[in-house]
Amino acid sequence: MKARLLSAVFAFGLLSSFDARSEVITIGISTVGLYELPTEIAKRKGFYQEEALEARKVVVRTGLHVAALLAGELDYSTVTGIISSASMQGMPLRTVMGWFDKPLHMLIARPSIKKISDLKGRKVAVSTYGSIPHVMLREALAHSGMNPDKDITVLALGGSGDRLAALAAGTVDATPLDVAYIQRTEQLGFTNLLYLGDAVNLRLGGFAVAMDKIQRNPDQILRVIRATLKAVRYFKNNKQETLAIMRDYLKISGDYVEKIYQFAMKSLNEDGLVAKSSLDNEIRLAKEQLKIKEEIPEGKVAEWKFIKEVLSKK
């Protein structure tokens, strides 16, 4: 398992110098994107270093995050939707922090597709089955009077970057993409069918961990959350510096960076929590998809004691 997972992981953005006193943590992302920007801010501004942490971010395909957390290959996953689904099915995993209460995705389609009903009979890409992009897509189609199980063919193709490549190659006809990709999709002439934050309330981003981490290293979780919460608030309170990071990290230029920042501000939860309505909706939609009949308490998918402890000391 370990070798297999490592072969699927690409490490990037490592610190140029290693402090032997720092505790190394691995943070999993599915692709570079706005949804995980607080972790990049925390790295660049030294917030993790202040907590004696060396944060190593690694790209892992969405469908492997559950196994990677359970195997100890990842300490933290930012792809929380698929983790919640696994938690609801009994996997020992929990969300411990959030930062966006609404999706930061646009439903993007090939130029010939002008409205959602045009997707009937088409191929649509998501990161993996049961992921937040998949759940958002299903809800948006249902709101538009379509049957998400019959009217389209869903393909699981990985993170936003992989899905954009598939769209550009003509492999698929549409896909939900992180709004950080707006500049590229508009330059390629693709259609922005829908901002999914207008269709459904679902949290995006945050941290999920294995229960083993909660039991064995709670102090590390507190330090990681404390550092990342600083970054979440930096995002809100230091706009110009944040825009500069976005331009560099997300490769965005011109007026697009301001537009994307405003999308993020509509969704940002500066307390590192998740709005109850968003989490309740996530649980409801996952239950429907997984055909789970029994009630799922919030405690089965989330453990908020760490963020609450950090907030109590602010």
Tens of pLDDT, residues 82-111: 899 999 999 999 999 999 998 888 999 999
Rounded to the nearest 5 degrees, what angle is found at the Cα of 201, between the Cα atoms of 305 and 194? 145
Residues 270 and 294 in one domain: yes
pLDDT given at position 52: 97
> Which distant-in-sequence residues (6+ apart) come within 8 Å of 10 by Cβ?
58, 59
- Summarised one tens digit per residue, pLDDT across range 47-82 is 999 999 999 999 999 889 999 999 999 999 999 888
pLDDT beyond 90 at 128: no
- Amino acid identity of residue 291, one-letter, is K
Q: How many domains does the chain have?
A: 2
pTM listed for this prediction: 0.83
What CATH number does residue 27 fall under? 3.40.190.10
- Summarised one tens digit per residue, pLDDT across range 141-174 is 988 899 999 999 999 998 888 999 999 999 999 9
pLDDT beyond 60 at 217: yes
For 91-138, strand residue ranges (E) read: 93-97, 105-109, 123-126
> Which distant-in-sequence residues (6+ apart) come within 8 Å of 280 by Cβ?
none
Distance, in Å, from the CA atom of 133 to the CA atom of 269, rounded to the nearest integer, reads 20
Domain that holds residue 141: 105-198
Residues 78 and 132 in one domain: no
Q: Find which of 21-35, 207-221, 260-274 is predicted with most confidence, using mean pLDDT.
A: 207-221
Residues 257 and 115 in one domain: no
For 123-178, strand residue ranges (E) read: 123-126, 153-156, 174-178
Residues 52 and 171 in one domain: no
Residues 213 and 134 in one domain: no
* Of 154, 183, 198, the domain-final residue: 198
Q: Which of 205, 211, 209 is nearest to 92 (CA)?
A: 211
Q: Are 38 and 80 in contact (CB under 8 A)?
A: no
Residues 186 and 212 in one domain: no
Residues 207 and 298 in one domain: yes
Q: Which of 277, 235, 239, 224 is nearest to 74 (CA)?
A: 224
Give SS3 for 254. coil
Q: Are 203 and 283 in contact (CB under 8 A)?
A: no
